[in-house]
Amino acid sequence: MEENEKQGATALSKREMARKITGSVNAKNNEDAITRDQDIRRRERELRTRPERRRANNRYPQDGNARVQRPGVGYPREVSELTGEDYNAVFSDMPQQRTPRPPRKRAEMRSEREAREYVERRRMERAEKRKKQQRKQLIITLAAVAVLIGGAAGGGLLWFNHNMKSYDGIFLDNTFINGVRVGKLSVDDAAQLVKQYSDMPDVVTLTRPDGVDVTVPLTDLDSTDNIRDSVDEFFKEQDHHDWLKARTQKTEYSFKLDFSFNREMLHEEVNRKIVEGQNSIKSENARIERTPDGFQIVPEVVGTAIDKKKLQTLYDYIDGFLDRGSYSIDLKNCNCYKMPKVTSDDLRDELGVLNNLYDVEFTIDYGYAQETLNGSQVLKWISFDNSSPMDGFTVDEDMVESYVESVAKKYDSFGKSRTFKSTTRGEMTIEQGDGCYGWMTDYDKTTSLLVDLIHEGVSAKFEPYYYETSGGFKYTGKPEWRTAEADFSDTYCEVDLSSQHFWYYENGKLKYQCDIVSGLPTDARNTPGGVYKVWYKEMNKTLEGSTYEGESWSTFVNYWNNISTFGVGLHDAWWHDYFGGDRYLYAGSHGCVNMPYEAAQYVYENIDYDTPVFMYW
């Protein structure tokens, strides 16, 4: 056993010497080396644990200190000292041959413990050496990768920095300020663009009443704003390292515009350009002129002269608009100019009326006939006062009244004599006398009506006004009885003062008659003849009156039928013993027609208003 241990130690010494001669295995053969090392360790374990078995199984005889053994069996791996080749590898394919075993000394044998420690130490040394080789290879590999990555990173960094440098002094892509794209613009250019699209005006525009614009640039008024500072602040906020991200992402900034300028300087410019730097034009009112083709408006002249006493009013007016954010100011409504009092617009309606007068017609309706007045005649009555154009055109009322009077004389019947067939005397002509029957036009009212219609300028048909007393009496008759020949029909009352008798005819037929008592035949109490009409009735009335001679009376009657405008009527008279004959000569009335009770009642109940009453002597 000691001899085997000695031989093993000798074999290990040879292997160690071979390895020192041949050097370490190249890195590319590490895997083969690891496999061989595992085989060596397996053989060493067999050497330590089964020495007797190896000797019992050895087919080769021993001779002294030497023996012949099959190569590669029972020994650790050995390497040729001359070629560095593994003996086992060399002889693995060769026929087996016997070789002499070198003599083995017991002194060279180590104990099992020492061998184990030696093997472990060798294993650790080999493992450490492999680790160093692996670290070296890893370092080389990492270095190569680092060189590649460093080269790529260096190139990428160089490209990144180069592109970032192209944004020096300008905004990144997709940058917006107050909605305005300023990407790739410098601060100055961006500020100018933002200002261009902002609400900040460049000038203050003042429009004079004559339509001329006067502009005052804000740059002349020491104007300041926060646009440049705000844009510069946004530029400083941008991180230009984000240039790549900015190509696809939008960056928005916003700020509230704030600007100001010197108001005193503006007032000085206004005074220089508007108040003093212009030729004043005097204002003139618009007016209407007559032409051969009609009427036309001469437009007003808008003056430009400013009342210097109202300069502060002008400044306050301008400042008011500026405070509301308006920089285009119309000075037309500023109360500092001497403006025309009448404009063309003020005369539009008037002009329309005048031009319409050429075509208008005014028709005066008299019932049985009409009188037409055309525009050409009306235009002769019109005149203008250009000093008071707002008063419109003037209609000559005297000329209108003259026209109304001329027409009225043609159609009025009041004051005219009438012919009728009396009961006892045949056909008679009765003068108007003191009677009130007939149609009489009220000139004043009809003239005013026509003048108003002319001012309206619209064709119209109208009835004239008829004269009416304060007591309510109206100088008209029954319209249906009015004709070109007469203003009464065959329905009337007849009073013969000579025979003291009364008749009433209706549609030509006698309906009622009676005796009467008329007025005492004196200047103060006589009953005058004429054409009267029934126009007022009243029951249970007290009649009061007096004569110019001083005689007065107060008499109660049951039926009062008024037929005049001065107190003559038909009424009952209970105090008479009889009627008719010559009773009026000594017991006559104060001018009224006294009748029996039944007769006065009949008139009251059966005779219509506007029925004519013919009284005659």
Lowest-confidence region among 93-107, 471-485, 576-590 = 93-107
The pLDDT > 70 percentage for the chain reads 80
Among residues 110, 140, 158, the one where a domain terminates is 110
pTM to 2 decimal places: 0.53
Residues 183, 321 within the same domain: yes
Residues 371, 412 within the same domain: yes
Give the residue from 162, 191, 160 showing the smallest Cα distance to 175.
Answer: 191
Instruction: For residue 388, tell me if it sits in a domain.
Output: yes
Whether residue 47 is predicted with pLDDT greater than 70 in this model: the reply is no
What 3-state DSSP class applies to 479? helix
For the purposes of burial, counting CB atoms within 10 Å of the CB of 548, is it exposed (0-12), middle (13-18) or buried (19 or more)?
exposed
Two structure tokens written together for 138: 């890893």
Q: What is the CATH number of the domain that holds 572?
A: 2.40.440.10
Could you tell me whether strands 593-595 and 294-298 are parallel, antiparallel, or unpaired per DSSP bridges?
A: unpaired
Q: Residue 80: what pLDDT?
A: 46
CA distance 507 to 513: 15
CA 426 to chain centre: 88
Two structure tokens written together for 324: 């509301």
Residue range 278-299: average pLDDT? Answer: 81
Q: Residue 412: what pLDDT?
A: 96
Q: Which amino acid is at 379?
A: L
| CB distance 298 to 244 below 8 Å | no
Q: What is the pLDDT of residues 301-356, one digit of tens each?
A: 877 778 788 889 988 999 999 888 899 999 888 888 777 888 889 888 888 888 88
Residue range 53-80: average pLDDT? Answer: 46
CA distance 394 to 539: 51
| CB distance 104 to 3 below 8 Å | yes
Whether residue 507 is predicted with pLDDT greater than 90 in this model: the reply is yes
Q: Residue 64: what pLDDT?
A: 45
CA distance 320 to 326: 9
Instruction: For residue 607, tell me if it sits in a domain.
Output: yes
The answer to whether the Cα torsion of 194, 195, 197, 199 is positive or negative is positive
CB atoms within 10 A of CB 41: 14
Whether residue 458 is predicted with pLDDT greater than 80 in this model: the reply is yes
Q: What is the pLDDT of residues 376-429, one digit of tens each?
A: 899 899 887 766 766 678 899 999 999 999 999 999 999 999 999 999 999 999
Q: What number of residues does the chain have? A: 617
CA distance 326 to 447: 56
Instruction: For residue 430, tell me if it sits in a domain.
Output: no
Residues 332, 443 within the same domain: no
Residues 208, 322 within the same domain: yes
| CB distance 15 to 76 below 8 Å | yes
Whether residue 160 is predicted with pLDDT greater than 70 in this model: the reply is yes
Q: What is the pLDDT of residues 438-454, one digit of tens each?
A: 999 999 999 999 999 99
Q: Residue 241: what pLDDT?
A: 87
The pLDDT > 90 percentage for the chain reads 46
CA distance 508 to 423: 11
The structural domain count of the chain equals 4
The DSSP string of 247-260 is TTS-EEE-----EE
Residues 462, 546 within the same domain: no
In this prediction, residue 151 has a pLDDT band, given cuts at 50, 70 and 90, of low
Which of residues 603 and 1 earns the better pLDDT score?
A: 603
Angle between helices 2-22 and 112-165 in degrees, nearest 10? 30
Q: DSSP assignment, residue 468? A: B
Residues 257, 179 within the same domain: yes
Instruction: For residue 423, tell me if it sits in a domain.
Output: no
The answer to whether the Cα torsion of 425, 431, 433, 437 is positive or negative is positive
CA distance 596 to 572: 5
Residues 219, 247 within the same domain: yes
Q: Residue 281: what pLDDT?
A: 76
Could you tell me whether strands 460-462 and 259-260 are parallel, antiparallel, or unpaired per DSSP bridges?
A: unpaired
Which of residues 340 and 617 earns the better pLDDT score?
A: 617
CA distance 617 to 613: 13
Give the residue from 432, 569, 591, 584 showing the smallest Cα distance to 523.
Answer: 591
Give the residue from 484, 514, 504, 508 showing the smallest Cα distance to 606.
Answer: 504
| CB distance 101 to 66 below 8 Å | yes
The answer to whether the Cα torsion of 577, 580, 581, 586 is positive or negative is positive
Two structure tokens written together for 157: 């960094």
Q: How many CA atoms does the CB half-sphere of 516 hold within 13 Å?
A: 29
Whether residue 15 is predicted with pLDDT greater than 70 in this model: the reply is no
CA 4 to chain centre: 120
Whether residue 509 is predicted with pLDDT greater than 90 in this model: the reply is yes
Highest averaged pLDDT of the listed ranges 3-12, 212-221, 415-424: 415-424
Whether residue 9 is predicted with pLDDT greater than 50 in this model: the reply is no
CA distance 310 to 325: 24
Helix, strand, coil fractions of the chain, as percent rounded to 5: 40, 25, 40
Instruction: For residue 554, give the H/E element and its range.
Output: strand 552-562
Q: Residue 199: what pLDDT?
A: 81
| CB distance 397 to 447 below 8 Å | yes
Average pLDDT, the chain: 83
CA distance 166 to 243: 10
In this prediction, residue 481 has a pLDDT band, given cuts at 50, 70 and 90, of very high
Which of residues 582 and 35 earns the better pLDDT score?
A: 582
Residue 358's region, left for phi above 0, alpha for psi from -120 to 50, else beta, is alpha
Q: Residue 453: what pLDDT?
A: 93
Whether residue 159 is predicted with pLDDT greater than 60 in this model: the reply is yes
In this prediction, residue 245 has a pLDDT band, given cuts at 50, 70 and 90, of confident
Instruction: For residue 428, tell me if it sits in a domain.
Output: no
Q: What is the pLDDT of residues 344-359, one digit of tens each?
A: 898 888 888 888 888 8
Residues 495, 597 within the same domain: yes
Whether residue 28 is predicted with pLDDT greater than 70 in this model: the reply is no
Q: Residue 132: what pLDDT?
A: 83
CA distance 465 to 414: 14
378 phi and psi angles, rounded to 5 deg: -65, -40
**Total H helices, total E strands in the chain:** 16, 29
What 3-state DSSP class applies to 380? helix
CA distance 569 to 542: 13
Whether residue 59 is predicted with pLDDT greater than 80 in this model: the reply is no
Two structure tokens written together for 365: 């309706």
CB atoms within 10 A of CB 304: 18
Instruction: For residue 439, give the H/E element and its range.
Output: none
Give the residue from 171, 168, 166, 170 showing the smallest Cα distance to 253.
Answer: 171
Instruction: For residue 429, tell me if it sits in a domain.
Output: no
Residue range 468-493: average pLDDT? Answer: 95
Give the residue from 59, 86, 85 showing the smallest Cα distance to 75.
Answer: 86
For the purposes of burial, counting CB atoms within 10 Å of the CB of 591, is it exposed (0-12), middle (13-18) or buried (19 or more)?
buried
Residues 463, 572 within the same domain: no
Residues 400, 274 within the same domain: no
Q: Residue 49: what pLDDT?
A: 60
Instruction: For residue 345, tell me if it sits in a domain.
Output: no
SS (H, E, C) 42-59: HHHHHHHHCHHHHHHCCC
Instruction: For residue 319, tell me if it sits in a domain.
Output: yes
Residues 75, 196 within the same domain: no
Residues 567, 452 within the same domain: no
Q: Which amino acid is at 384?
A: F
Q: What is the CATH number of the domain that holds 462?
A: 3.10.20.800
Q: What is the pLDDT of residues 99-123, one digit of tens each?
A: 555 555 444 555 677 777 888 888 8
Whether residue 76 is predicted with pLDDT greater than 50 in this model: the reply is no
Full domain range(s) for residue 70: 2-110
Lowest-confidence region among 153-157, 198-202, 438-442 = 153-157
Q: Residue 506: what pLDDT?
A: 97
Q: DSSP assignment, residue 485? A: S
CA distance 74 to 71: 8
CA distance 471 to 150: 129
CA distance 213 to 330: 9
Give the residue from 513, 452, 507 showing the smallest Cα distance to 481.
Answer: 507
The DSSP string of 67-126 is EEE-TTSSS---B-TTT--BHHHHHTTSPP--EEPPP--GGG---HHHHHHHHHHHHHHH
